Amino acid sequence: MPALLALLLVLGCGASQTPETSATSDSEPSSNTSEAPETTDGRSPRYTTRGTVEEIREERRQIIVHHEAIPGYMPEMTMPFLVEDLSLLEGLATGQRIELTFSVEPGGRHVARAIRRL
């Protein structure tokens, strides 16, 4: 059930694009050009939003966050973010309010880059 829920959440995300059918590595994850995203290294777009920690899945390097609307990118929703750096999870618990910075990687993966407790 949780796995299915997560899948549905991923599919419901604003930047959804099927990785398997769009395997061209240098194509943009979405054609949304209404608002230029903040970038730090000229590669992956980054966004910062606020939200609430819904679930922490350290063993899957995943955190489920209910985030606020991100103008020009995504509406308010609950969705998973990949956590490559597990130290970002230190001190976090379900229900914690956070400010989250994430990047959008090729294939539409959303990777947490910074998490600040509010």
Residue 31 CB, nearest approach to Cu ion (Å): 17
From 38-46, 47-55, 56-64, 67-75, give the range in contact with Cu ion by CB under 5 A: 67-75
From 8-16, 32-40, 56-64, 96-104, give the range in contact with Cu ion by CB under 5 A: 8-16
Size of the site for Cu ion (CB under 5 A): 4
| CA separation for the pair 21, 112 (Å, rounded) | 24
Cα separation of the two ends of the chain: 30
Which of helix, strand or coil describes residue 87? helix
* Residue 112 within binding range of Cu ion, rule CB under 5 A: no
* Residue 77 within binding range of Cu ion, rule CB under 5 A: yes
| CA separation for the pair 84, 112 (Å, rounded) | 7
Number of other CB atoms surrounding residue 80 within 10 Å: 22
User: Which parts of 79-98 interact with Cu ion (CB under 5 A)?
Assistant: 79
| CA separation for the pair 78, 75 (Å, rounded) | 10
Residue 77 CB, nearest approach to Cu ion (Å): 4
Give the binding site for Cu ion (CB under 5 A).
13, 74, 77, 79
